[in-house]
Every structure is written in C-alpha cells, then in structure tokens.
Chains A and B, each alone.
Chain A
Amino acid sequence: MKSLSNQVVSMKPSGIRRFFDLAQTMENVVSLGVGEPDFITPWNVREASYVALEQGYTAYSANAGLIELREEIATYMKERFSVKYDPASELIVTTGASQALDIAFRALLNPGDEVIVVEPAFVSYGPLIEMAGGKVVPVACRPEKGFRLDRDDVERVITERTKAILLCFPSNPTGATMNADELAQIAELATKYDLWVVSDEIYAELCYDEPFTSFATLHDMRDRTIVINGFSKAFAMTGWRLGFTCAPEVVTREMLKVHQYGMMCAPTLVQFGGLEALRSRHQHVPNMVKSYRQRRNYFIQALNEAGLPTHVPGGAFYAFPSIRHTGLTSEEFAERLLLEERVAVVPGNAFGESGEGFVRASYATSLEQLQEAIRRIHRFMQQFEVTAVKDSHS
C-alpha cells in the first residue's frame, strides 16, 4: 500500500484524547473536563427543528445558509455587537465554529504563511492552520497578566511572512477576556503590519465582568477581520454543529467556495433551530449567563481555598488554576487527580506549551457536582504542602 498523507500522519492526536480514553474506563468520575455547556438546548429551539422536520425541510439550503437565518444573524451582530454585515454577501452559516475556522484559513493562507496563534489555545487551531498550508507562530499570554495578550509580545514575533493573527477572547482554556482598550492595541498592530485578524468570538455571550467587544468594531478592523461565531456556547447547542463567519465580501466570496465544495451547506434542520435560538435569545441567554457567573464566583474562590491559585476569569466557563507548586507536571497532576480522586480535568499543556503548569477545569456542571469536585480536590491537595489563597474576589 502506498503511504498516507505525510502531513496528516505526522500530526499529533489531540492531547485531550488520552485523558478521554482513561476517564471513559472509570466510574464515579466527577468531570470538570467538559468544554461545553451543561444546559440542554432550550426546548423551543429543539421544537423548531422538529417542526421543520415535520414540514419536510429536508433539502439543501443555499450554500451560505438559509437567507432568513443570515438576516437574523445580521440583526444579532448589529444589535448585540454593533457591527453591520450584509446577509447576502458577508455571512456564511457553517457546521460549527470549527468548520468556520477551517474555511477561513483555507481562504487566507498560501504555503508558508505565518499565523500568530495566541496561546494557551483551543486544540484545533494549530492543526487547522497547518492543514491549510500555514505555519503556526505561538505567542504566549502571561499568567501574571491574567492571561491577557501583551501587545509587545505579539510585535516581537511578527515577520514578513506573517499573514494573520488568531485571537480568542474570552479564551478557551483560560477564560481570560480583553476589553476594548486592550484589544485596540492589538488592532493597531494589525493596521501597522497589514495583517488579517481571525477573531474567534464563540464565547462572546459569556462575559461576566466587562461588556464584550467584537474585534470588528475596532478602528480599521471590520474590513480585515474574519469574525468566527456560533451557537454552541451561547445557546447550548454544541452537538448541533452550527456556526457562522462574518467577514468583508472580498474574503467571504473565497471562503464560500471552500464551503461550497467541502460542505455544500450546514444541515437545514439545524439551521431552523439556530433561527429560533437567535429569535428567542433574550429569553434564555441572560439566565444562562447569570448561572455561569454565580458558579464562576463560587468555583474560583473554592479552588483558591483548596490551595490552587487561580486568576478570576472574566468569561467562558473555565478555571485555569496553577499547579506548579505541587511539583507535578500538568499531565501528572491531571492523571493523579483522576486516578486518586476521580476528578477529570484537562492538563494545560494540551493547549500549547505555555499551558504547562496549569490545568483546565470547567465549571459548566451542576453546583452539586462542583461541590463534590472541590471536596475531592481538597483531599487530593493534602499531600502537597500548600496553603489556601484567600479571597480571590478582592
């Protein structure tokens, strides 16, 4: 047999995979390893998709997605994030934000083009960029700055080959957010070096302290930014696989070709669910956000009290505690916590080298499960000489 694709064969499987396999074999696991909401998709959204099925909407939609859905997305982007897009030429409905990222990089990159990836980062970013022919240039967010991105750190890695910068705030895995002023400094670099910006805004709705700023609203950024967003996190629709891109026509036109040949269109039934989700967003999103905020407040405080120093994340639903003082690596810590106390977290190095020394613990689970996890973590931490960090709120 002839050999398979060298590029794919040499690609490492996701670092999360090993823990997934290990955790699957165990019982009575309290999982903080889940990167998705604990809410089930609101009933009216499920019902809308069901009705569409009943009415026989089983055919393809337009490549870019149902026009009603694109119009509703345009309204949402304008009302919620103050940025205008033309539904006919600047929006594409995709099968999740992951596919949106895929078509963005395929449309942007030539072989050898460099993409600055802000780390610790979602596990798919690097492989997606490489499969599109690009080269990943990581830039680490510093823990001492609450995992916010430093402008100078970015400028240091810019070269003539730099094509784009990929941002994700609120961040998976750190939960860090950047406000308008902080983002504006990154925007200045994009203008100065003529860079494209891919802004993964999938956690936009899940901000707890400061209002979210879409990168496209910053000066000079709308026409050089591809906004990636989707329904998974804000509307608890991860398994539906529904996302979208918002970008100027010049790039949307090219992304649409990739989408058209690779995917045809997002599933039509799912798009009807998405339409209902957007139309009823005022009914559901604020309550989910309130519930996440409360759990964040409790969980960060409790981790600090258990002896795991944790910065207060402004968004998403992840805590990213430091485990350095235990003397263990992230993987050792995660593996022992799983084996000894049956609590599943994800080792920080799964999100890039700069995640080493941390673990990701999701608080998108019931309060009762969080309390149980904290009890077990307390017990686990007894073996290390650590002291509680008091009062993370102040």
Chain B
Amino acid sequence: MYSSKELELLELLEEKGYLETKMLADLLALDEETIESMLEKFKQDGILLGFRAMVNWQKINRHDVTAFIDVKVAPKRGRGFDDVAERIYRFPEVTALYLMSGAYDLQVVIQASSLQDVASFVSDKLSPLDSVLSTTTHFKLKTYKHDGILFTPQTEDKRLNITP
C-alpha cells in the first residue's frame, strides 16, 4: 500500500519529473531524506521506470515516421497473448505495444526513418510471425497532444499584472 503523500509524489513526478529533491520536498511539505527514500522504494518496486523529456521533433523537421499497426493474432493455449507480444516488443523500433479490446488484439506503435522501413517491418518481421493473422497499418500525420502535453502550447498568461 502506498500513502497519499507517496501517490501525490508520483503524480507530481509524472507531471514534472525534472524537479529537484529539495523542491519536491518543499511542495509536499516533507524533508529531502523522506523524498529520497520514497524514490528509492518506487524504483525497487518497479513503479518508477525512468525520466525522459518530451521532445517536439516536428519543430526540427526530422522526418521520422510513426505507424500504428492493428494486429489480429491467435492466442496460444495457456499463454494467451503474452508470447507473441514479447516477440513483437523485442524489436527496437517498437516504441509501444498494447493489448486492446475490440476489433483487433494488439496495437503496435513503431518509429522508423521512412515509410519503406515501416513496410519492411510489417512484411519481414511482423506478418511472418506464426500467430499473426492480419495487420492494418496507419501512419501518424501530425501530433497535436501527447501524454497530456500540447504540441502547440498556449502558454500566454492573459491575466492583468495586478488584480484585487
């Protein structure tokens, strides 16, 4: 079980992972040692998996291709979807993999440097897998918002400088 302060710390980290320990301690009215031991515990428990920046590559004109591939698969007796999922997520170009309810089973997100690379991933790596029954590939055209962050930020403060 995790305390409400621990959960609040996780929420804060998820939103502002770059904050220093002293600031985290001040925000939560705890001392720095407590924050450090909480962080250590989260890491050991596999709850805190890492920190990374949210980069808007669209601004830099780097023409990476992101594809969302809907995959229908035949589950294996006793193992369900886990075996085939593992075979898929081990490919380094796979950036995300979800088991889905609905019209298909797995959603594979891959990042590649060209359409051609995506095509070869699907035809050479994904489709030949025994359990894979069919694939439908969609390409991302533009990111508006990702993980709660707007890609065209509207940060201008519209308030007056001083109000009662």
Q: Which residues of A are in contact with B by a Cβ distance under 8 Å? A: 14, 16, 19-20, 23-24, 29, 31, 33-36, 38, 40, 122-124, 172, 238, 290, 294-295, 297-298, 301-302, 344, 346, 365, 367, 371, 393
Contact = CB atoms under 8 A, between A and B. Distances in A.
B162 A20 contact: yes
A220 to B, nearest CB: 33
B164 A297 contact: no
A135 B11 CA distance: 50
Given A290-B8, A298-B23, A367-B16, A393 B162 contact: no
Contacts of A371: 23
Interface string B107-135: 00000000000000000000000000000
Interface centre among B157, B161, B163 (most CB of A within 10 A): B161
A20 B12 contact: no
A154 B23 CA distance: 40
Interface of B: 8, 11-12, 16, 19, 23, 26-29, 157-164
7 contacts: A16-B163, A16-B164, A23-B162, A34-B162, A38-B159, A294-B8, A297-B27
A130 to B, nearest CB: 17
Given A29-B161, A31-B162, 17 more contacts: A14-B164, A16-B162, A16-B164, A20-B163, A24-B161, A33-B161, A33-B163, A34-B160, A36-B163, A294-B8, A298-B23, A346-B162, A365-B157, A367-B16, A367-B19, A367-B27, A371-B23
B164 A294 contact: no
B162 A297 contact: no
Given A298-B23, A298-B27, A123 B12 contact: no
Contact of B29 (A29, A35, A302, A393): A393
Contacts of B159: 31, 34, 36, 38
Which 4 pairs between the two chains have the least Cβ-Cβ distance?
A: A33-B162, A294-B27, A298-B26, A23-B161
A342 B28 CA distance: 28
Nearest to B15: A291
A50 B19 CA distance: 37
Nearest to A21: B162
B161 A34 contact: yes
Contacts of A31: 159, 161-162
Contacts of B26: 297-298, 301-302
Contacts of B19: 367
B25 to A, nearest CB: 9
Given A38-B157, A298-B23, A367-B16, A344 B162 contact: yes
Nearest to A295: B27
Contacts of A40: 158
B157 to A, nearest CB: 7
Given A34-B159, A297-B27, A298-B27, A124 B8 contact: no
Given A290-B8, A298-B23, A35 B28 contact: no
A20 B51 CA distance: 41
A290 B5 CA distance: 11
Contacts of A298: 23, 26-27
